[in-house]
Amino acid sequence: MTQSSQHIAIFGCGQLAQMTAKAGIPLGHRFSFIAEEGEDSRCVDDLGAVVTFCKGMLAQALFDLLGKPNVITVEKEMVDTALLDELNQLTRVAPAGNAIYISQNRIREKTFLQNLGIPTANFEIIDSIEHLQTLPDRLGYPIYIKAAESGYDGYHQWRIKSNEDLSQPELIAAIENKVQLIAEKHVNYSREVSVIAARNASGDVALYPMMENRHEEGVLIATIAPAPKPKLAEFALGMIKTLLIELNYVGILTVECFETEQGIVVNELAPRVHNSGHWTIEGAVTSQFENHCRAITGMPLGSTDVNKFSGLVNMLGHHGDQEQLRAVNSSTRFYHAYGKAERPRRKLGHVTVCAETISDLKQSLNDVMKTLYKDRYKPL
């Protein structure tokens, strides 16, 4: 098998695995997917073999069932890193388990960043209900409490705005059940941004422009790229290069940040392709998904140049009026459905928009949001 034609196995069977495989197949790669017991694999069923990882399965057995892939990667953080380390004795794992281990726990992640001198929100580890009750004395309001692991898209997270919010039954139950929780001080920010970069084993780095993101109820709803007025972009892109080198990282890395008057504050890392980078499929010369495949298989990285302004709107919970969304100019609006069943707040797909100017982009993104959500979300 040539360098340009390799077998890639992906931990996970969701839309990120789907889009990665769709980008890698034209490069000559083939794919298989690792599903947890009971995991829905409909997103990838037509893209390669799906192997179910059962509790207690040995790394060698999994490797053999997958068909001895040349490289193993992930579409999610919550993967058994001890298993990844064992698989790394049999084949390449990219990114390596240490990067995933750091990023899958908010406490480890923030400690790692602060040790590198990278700003994050001030935080405390909650070890008791008594500790919880005294948090406002030190952190003020609002306070953001999150599970150190498995909290995402607003799940397993609490916003504390008053003393009454400290008594939420689910929060008290989490502490009593010894769930590891982190409390973060509010960051006064002007906007949310993210940066995405690829690095291969030779140390070559490809940087995408900084993006501006809009979240609603803890879930990404829209992204604009490049971010307008990118005054802190140089610092953010330099920071992600530092992280790539420090971690000896191979693949796509994403850093979500707050832009503040004092500078960039990092919110979290994602050791994988990322929702805020989906616009790169149509909006960049090389998508994040293709560059991830290139990086982990040792191919030269592709250009991250952009010709226009681009952005995306996520389809959350329902697909909306698909005919109306598809009935626009096919060269400026692109509809992506992942093949998932509708469920509240679930990411079912996204619509990418490309435009010549930032004002045209925002108008088109607002039109998409109005089609999907009526007046539920405020305009960009």
For residues 96 and 78, what is the distance between their CA atoms, to the nearest angstrom?
14
Phi/psi of residue 177, nearest 5 degrees: -90, 10
Residue with tokens 């010369």: 285
SS3 138: helix
pLDDT value at position 182?
Answer: 96
Q: Is the pTM of this model over 0.85?
A: yes
pLDDT at 3 over 80: no
The Cα diameter of the chain in Å comes to: 62
pLDDT value at position 218?
Answer: 84
Residue with tokens 């409490």: 145
Average pLDDT estimate for 350-372: 95
Strands 143-147 and 71-74: unpaired
pLDDT digits (tens, 9 = 90+) for 316-337: 999 988 777 865 666 789 999 9
pLDDT digits (tens, 9 = 90+) for 274-311: 999 999 999 999 999 999 999 999 999 999 999 899 99
Q: Domains in the chain, start-ordered, CATH in brackets?
A: 7-93 (3.40.50.20), 122-185 (3.30.1490.20), 191-373 (3.30.470.20)
pLDDT at 1 over 50: no
The region of weakest confidence among 175-184, 319-328, 349-358 is 319-328
pLDDT at 153 over 70: no
pLDDT at 354 over 80: yes
For residues 102 and 126, what is the distance between their CA atoms, to the nearest angstrom?
19
Which tokens in the block code for residue 336? Answer: 């992506």
Question: What's the Cα-to-Cα distance from 339 to each of 96, 287, 315, rounded to whole Å?
Answer: 30, 21, 12
